Structure 1
């Protein structure tokens, strides 16, 4: 009976991993904690991320922190594509204290979308 459970587990594990799309390149993570030690050791973190992007010669990088895959992007075109694809997910979230919806927030959102992420700024 335990052989049946083992075979079922292995079958599910190998078939589900083939169905996922491939992730962008990134540093080799450790089991369970991912790249958390490298992230803590290399301060400031954004410089370490940019250095990893230069080493891998890519504009999109996948860093695993624990069981979460963090995708970092340095190209405005790729970032715009991400924002367009995931706009529905983020717009349906409830208001919280971490993202206030006041006049300042609306102004910052307008500046971000019109000046920083616009295609005309290139």
Structure 2
């Protein structure tokens, strides 16, 4: 992608930062969350390489970054509800990923809670 294009991710983020810092922060969080939920499609070698790269740049490891996402389904099931938009998007990603390792009953319960949050608002 052309880095001078107004639709390049860097230019979009910079325009959001100029407009409203909280919008930029939310956009970064959403992009990171999407990237992290897609990691299960990476090879083990790619994950190791990415993890080493993060650590070499003094950034959090993949385990630290993904632990936030991995805990959400259990927390939502325990609470019996989706509490916020962040949990909503994580549960949405999990439900769309048919290979995500949850039981059928957990998937059904999460789907009910997802629909309750989405349509109950």
Q: Calculate the TM-score normalised by the size of structure 2.
A: 0.28
- Structure number with larger C-alpha Rg: 1
Which structure has the highest helix share of the two? Answer: 2
Q: Calculate the TM-score normalised by the size of structure 1.
A: 0.28
